[in-house]
Amino acid sequence: MENLTPKLASANLATAPTTSIFERHDYLTEPTGYCEHCLNILHPNKDRYYSCEQCPSSFDICMKCINLMKTEHAPQHSFKKDNYSMNEAMMIHYNTSCDGCKTVNFKGIRYQCDECRESYDLCESCYQKRNNLHPNHNFKIVQSPLLRLNNRILLARRAIQVFKQFPNLQYDPVTGYTLNDAQQVKEQEEEKIESVLGTTFTRSKKGSGS
């Protein structure tokens, strides 16, 4: 879990951040979440967290904040430790083929040549052989469509909560969003993911029961 509280407390209220979470490897390759209480970023594949069993939408709490829920959340609600189970579709690169092994709609990380005019893509396995397959060229990571939507929605939701707690903040120091930006991203991306999945956006999770 990444502690962002100091960043919020010391944020320059008139200046957008110079670095972006959207360029980070974990954002590009893994689902992103956040604690509803402290708003710190959670990496569900790595971080242990708790989920409310009664709230209709996802309400996740980090390990540090769970004891506070006895007095700061609905007393009749219960929490369970959760293990994140990512929908495999979130890591599929639809309508894309690997130029190394020729696999279509491959899963995992997609690496795209950052120098060729025409798209040249490699799956994770072939990327390890890039020096033979496509030497002397630099690659960038391209997110799968559903992972991109998932992470943008969750970060927009988090940014909206940040502005509720810090009403004088002009920019969210993590995303660079203004409140209007966050609201627009949330609405637009939720519409997109609903059209893709044919259902209201939800995270796929399963409890560990312990």
pLDDT digits (tens, 9 = 90+) for 109-159: 999 999 999 999 999 999 999 999 999 999 999 999 889 998 999 999 999
14 and 29 in a single domain? The answer is yes
- pLDDT for residue 208: 37
3-state secondary structure the chain: CECCHHHHHCCCCCCCCCCCHHHCHHHHHCCCEECCCCCCEECCCCCCEEEECCCCCCCEEECCCHHHHHHHCCCCCCEEEEEECCCHHHHECCCCECCCCCCECCECCEEEECCCCCCCEECHHHHCCHHHHCCCCCEEEECCHHHHHHHHHHHHHHHHHHHHHCCCCCCCCCCCCCHHHHHHHHHHHHHHHHHHHCCCCCCCEEECCC
| Structural domain boundaries enclosing 38 | 5-89+145-207
Q: pLDDT tens digits, residue range 50-79?
A: 999 999 888 999 999 999 999 999 999 999
160 and 203 in a single domain? The answer is yes
Q: Give me the number of domains the chain comprises.
A: 2
82 and 109 in a single domain? The answer is no
151 and 123 in a single domain? The answer is no
- pLDDT for residue 201: 45
150 and 163 in a single domain? The answer is yes
201 and 132 in a single domain? The answer is no
82 and 64 in a single domain? The answer is yes
80 and 113 in a single domain? The answer is no
114 and 24 in a single domain? The answer is no
Q: Tell me if the pTM is above 0.95.
A: no
pLDDT-derived band at 104, boundaries 50, 70, 90: very high
